[in-house]
A and B are shown apart, each in its own frame.
Chain A
Amino acid sequence: MTLFSTIGSYLLLIKGMFTKPENIKMYWKELMHQSVEIGMGSLGIVAVISVFMGAVSAVQTAYQLTNPILPKETIAQIVRDTVILEFAPTLVCIVLAGVIGSKIAGELGNMRVSEQIDALEIMGINTKSYLVAPKILAALITIPLLVVLAMVLGIYGGRLAGSLGGILSTDTYDKGLIENFIPKNVWFALAKAYTFAFIISSVSSYYGYNVKGGALEIGRASTTAVITSCILILFADYILASFLL
């Protein structure tokens, strides 16, 4: 398929989601189910990488800041800003593209190949809205929350590494955190999180929903979904940075 027809059928999938639900209660149930799958399912990995990411950035910043004139609080500020601006939204979402993207593409791909999607269609259910919309919505709800959590844990990781490694005391770190804090950065990070959440969920739904063939193609679709999501995330990251900062 050419690039344009891929984009075209992707847009048709998105458009197809906007129909009246056959039964609100069932859609709600599916949304809750997906929120648990997507959100709770990635909680562990997000927690682990955020803590380490913050810790590493504290240690490395300290290593690079050799100038004795600069106060130690600067380390905390740098950790805070890199975590909020880049690590929490972008790095976490790149990881989530792998975790959630392959999960969504695999689930839908399996349903397509084993004719479960056809079975739903034949019952008179719009599968684009019943299967895809709750996934995208669940991602839009949970991924920004995960990103906020990653911010908190990342900053905490830096604090922990700072004190454990004898780089700076927790008091100094906490003092540094509130100096020159720009609240706009958090909004910017959230804007990124929403954008990336939509990219991850919709792109991987698209590749999963349109699988043709057998089990082998499901794996292939997952891979394509993850790669495409990652590239689009980095691209969107650049665009957002140029426009919003």
Chain B
Amino acid sequence: MIEIKNVSKSFGDKQILTDISAIMETGKTNLIIGTSGSGKTVLQKCMVALFEVDEGEIIFDGKSLTAMQEEERKELRQQIGMLFQGSALFDSMTVEQNVKFPLDMFTKWPLSKKMERVNDVLERVNLKDTNKKFPAEISGGMKKRVGIARAIVLKPKYLFCDEPNSGLDPQTSILIDKLIHEITKENNITTVINTHDMNSVMEIGENILYLYHGKKEWEGTNKEIIFNKHDKLNEFIFASEFLRDAKDMRMLEEKGIIDNDRNMDDILREGGANLVMEGGDSNKPEE
């Protein structure tokens, strides 16, 4: 469990994060969502002390990262894995060397044992036959997989992912999301994911934190998010026509007004549309 307690952060006179408190739960995929520039990356980097917080505290399972000395931090960081937005693979090393690097640095294992672990994790992220390739020679989706493999090779207790599916096609995105979700469950990791992808939110949003201009505006689960009554959040999640319609359908379904066998005309005739509006929808069609 990671606790964020009243965290504020500014760069110069520009306030980026304002008084954020939240809890990232163990064994769950915790999502930080918000538009670009809302402060997701800064919050995540504050959580791992790549940025120092101005105020507040970050607590990893009862131990305050904020209060730690450099040496203690280095120790804690060996339990942290991080997947960066641009993958951040070492371009002078092959895929295999990238994944092996943390093992080289922090274990005294013999080469055979290291290679076994490397091949295990590469297999876990469904990468084969790329061991000897350089990052420049593989696709964006593969880079993310290598990034995940490198992040989990030391069996971390905490996993941070900054927009794991930015720049990927929708299909690959979902695969990556599912992969992170599965790994989280398998190893009971506390996973924190930054995203602005609604697919991710719906698929793996077990605990969601919504940031708006550096403030926490909402938190909840993917089940709660569809029916939330928060205007700004709704603007964010229902930015697309398609999702708005999908939501309306879902509400009708929930209320038992439609099932897949009946068509929309029937429902409208019965006054289903009014029910949608009563349901607290902030995106009313037209008035």
Q: Are A124's CB and B84's CB within 8 A?
A: no
Interface residue ranges of B66-105 to A (CB < 8 Å): 70, 73-78, 80-82, 84-86, 88-91, 101-102, 104-105
Indicate whether A23 sits within 8 Å of B88 (C-beta atoms), given known contacts A118-B50, A122-B48, A124-B78: no
Q: Are B88's CB and A124's CB within 8 A?
A: no
Judged by a CB distance under 8 angstroms, whether A60 is at the interface is no
Q: Are A23's CB and B74's CB within 8 A?
A: no
Q: Are B48's CB and A124's CB within 8 A?
A: no
What 9 A-B pairs have minimum CB-CB distances, sorted nearest first?
Answer: A124-B77, A115-B88, A119-B88, A124-B74, A115-B84, A122-B82, A124-B78, A116-B88, A23-B105
Judged by a CB distance under 8 angstroms, whether A70 is at the interface is no
Judged by a CB distance under 8 angstroms, whether A182 is at the interface is no
Selected contact of A118 from candidates B78, B84, B89, B101, CB within 8 Å = B84
Q: Report Cα–Cα, A160/B48, bound state, in Å.
A: 62
Question: B residues engaging A (CB < 8 A)?
Answer: 45, 48, 50, 70, 73-78, 80-82, 84-86, 88-91, 101-102, 104-106, 160
Question: A residues engaging B (CB < 8 A)?
Answer: 19, 22-23, 25-26, 110, 114-116, 118-119, 121-126
| B92 CB, nearest partner CB in chain A, Å | 9
Q: Are A23's CB and B104's CB within 8 A?
A: yes
Q: Are B105's CB and A118's CB within 8 A?
A: no
Among residues of A, the one whose C-beta sits closest to the C-beta of B74 is: A124
Q: Report Cα–Cα, A214/B89, bound state, in Å.
A: 17
Q: Report Cα–Cα, A122/B48, bound state, in Å.
A: 7
Q: Are A123's CB and B88's CB within 8 A?
A: no
Using Cβ atoms and an 8 Å threshold, which residues of chain B touch A25?
104
Among residues of B, the one whose C-beta sits closest to the C-beta of A29 is: B104
| A105 CB, nearest partner CB in chain B, Å | 16
Q: Offer 9 A-B interface pairs, CB within 8 angstroms, sorted by A.
A: A22-B106, A26-B105, A122-B77, A123-B78, A123-B102, A123-B105, A123-B106, A124-B73, A124-B77
Chain A CB count within 10 A is highest, among B70, B73, B88, B89, for B88
Q: Are B74's CB and A126's CB within 8 A?
A: yes
| A138 CB, nearest partner CB in chain B, Å | 15
Q: Are B84's CB and A22's CB within 8 A?
A: no
